[in-house]
Structure 1
């Protein structure tokens, strides 16, 4: 997953705690709002997460569900997992939307060191089984993941795919072409990027052209032929209009990144009613839903809270 750790735990903890006491912060957004369909206020819930479009939408969905159930909600969106997961463990944050393999690999590295072998895989059930004991040790409870997933993905132009009858990465690799890949510099050596493409699929990559993940620049580079393939996410809803198409990861080099509610265990024990609420959400949410909502925010310039409200109403969850 594109979410990476970029600051140490001590600095991250200080950042979150310091920002929580301020009205605003460049790296921390606090939003408090009341209002509920219930007459009784069940108390305050702190929803955490990261500050990018998809996470903003998911935090808004969580907020509206909780408010509808009678809770007052404060939202804290930050830069990295290094900030919000320690606070989730301590109970300063109560619930976050997270990604299955992302949180698994983070907690595994925190426990066993940054060079520890990965325990996530492209199998959601196996990854969840590896995650649960790691999370339990940190006083974090993992609710059932949704079908919705946002994995790294690789795309080409639609014209190139149609001309060569390509639908999968294996199809492209079988052409035997030397290619340039548009991707962030950390793609090199990663099993879900350059190493997986070359070792698992057999691609001959002559150069990784350093272009940001899912950026307009990497899409332009693929369209112009500067690179033959680029990296984005599976919920990128902009590709079709640009004449681009994702090739299926048919050999499974991407780990399972299903959207998963992670809850402070003490908070869940005190508020067991939220489990049903979030299980219903996870049973409903699909990858297509995520892509459609991302487009509404990124391209149509709608507010995440308005997109969240409409989605929940359409699904009968409000």
Structure 2
């Protein structure tokens, strides 16, 4: 994991009002309260990272006095309406992706993109959009699962590569292993060419962060591969991330989204969920994903161990 991608973020200028309430309580108060705060349902999406995040939220909310459960609903197109209506109360979400989903909902499919690599500015946009639809974003974590690009460590060492700009400066024609829609995406081939001046000779549709994408990199069939910043398997595969030094990728910090009407009567959830955002890093997330995806541990067990290790429960 390229630690340069893990930046400490400041949200002090754009914190929603709900966040301010978090400072009024503490996890120790919740631990001793013995309250019965009623039931809360968290959206589940059925992939390792989402499973882990849902179990982290569940553990925190249970500890605070809620009776939390996870309901598997699938992707955002399936859970956005229930979250807005309050059928489910909390989602594990991504800062820019949720911002743009609500932006398109409010302004149409051709809406001008308002999310960016600036996490604080994107949080402000998300807060304004979410308020229109009865939802409230809480505090984003430092941890994020953003689109990223990897090369083999050998290739990086041989060419002294740290950043995507370094790669572009080589002036070499590059084959890119990526998702099938990479050709059309401003954060993939289009952006790599326009923002960095990379010479992409072809996009090989091996997928986002797949074993095939990594295998092609290692074999030399491709020189660059599309992966996620929270992929904890890169180092063991002999791969390294190149820093997005020109901010092509939008900020995709993990952020809890709550139904506003429910949250008004359950402010204890703010402190509980924000306590995780205070400590969760991309490296932490990557390690937990590796435990589940490679070590075949249960997401609930991994989440419980992490929360205890951080003193959150």
Of 226, 229, 238, the match for 1:243: 238
Query: Is 2:257 aligned against 1:262?
Result: yes
Structure 1 equivalent of residue 104 of structure 2: 109
Structure 2 equivalent of residue 4 of structure 1: none
Of 86, 91, 99, the match for 1:91: 86
Matches of 2:268 and 2:302 in 1, distance apart?
25
1:133-282 aligned at under 5 Å gives the runs 133-282=128-277
Matches of 1:273 and 1:79 in 2, distance apart?
27
Three-state SS of the structure 2 residue aligned to 1:62 is: helix
Q: Is the 8 A contact 2:61 2:273 kept in 1?
A: no
Q: Cα gap change, 1:160/1:169 in structure 2, threshold over 3 Å: closer, same or farther?
A: same
Structure 1 equivalent of residue 114 of structure 2: 119
Q: Is the 8 A contact 2:180 2:205 kept in 1?
A: yes
Matches of 1:200 and 1:78 in 2, distance apart?
36
1:285-304 aligned at under 5 Å gives the runs 285-304=280-299
Three-state SS of the structure 2 residue aligned to 1:293 is: helix
Three-state SS of the structure 2 residue aligned to 1:261 is: strand
Cα deviation for residue 255 of structure 1 reads 0.2
Matches of 1:205 and 1:40 in 2, distance apart?
58
Cα deviation for residue 212 of structure 1 reads 1.4
Structure 1 equivalent of residue 26 of structure 2: none
Q: Deviations over 1:7-32 (max 9, x none)?
A: xxxxxxxxxxxxxxxxxxxxxxxxxx
Structure 1 equivalent of residue 53 of structure 2: 58
Which aligned segments of 4 or more residues in structure 1 are displaced greater than 6 angstroms?
none
TM-score (norm 1): 0.87
Q: Which runs of 5+ in 2 are unaligned?
A: 1-30
Q: Which runs of 5+ in 1 are unaligned?
A: 1-35
More off after superposition, 226-235 vs 187-196: 187-196
Cα deviation for residue 95 of structure 1 reads 0.6
Cα deviation for residue 67 of structure 1 reads 1.2
Cα deviation for residue 39 of structure 1 reads 4.8
Three-state SS of the structure 1 residue aligned to 2:257 is: strand
Q: Is the 8 A contact 2:150 2:225 kept in 1?
A: yes
Q: Is the 8 A contact 1:104 1:134 kept in 2?
A: yes
Higher RCO, Cα 8 Å, sep 6+: 2
Structure 2 equivalent of residue 12 of structure 1: none
Q: Is the 8 A contact 1:47 1:94 kept in 2?
A: yes
Figure out how many residues of one structure are paired with residues of the other and give that number: 283
Structure 2 equivalent of residue 27 of structure 1: none
Cα deviation for residue 86 of structure 1 reads 1.1
More off after superposition, 233-242 vs 37-46: 37-46
Q: Is the 8 A contact 1:237 1:295 kept in 2?
A: yes
Three-state SS of the structure 2 residue aligned to 1:263 is: strand
Matches of 1:37 and 1:78 in 2, distance apart?
33
Three-state SS of the structure 1 residue aligned to 2:181 is: helix
Matches of 1:294 and 1:37 in 2, distance apart?
31
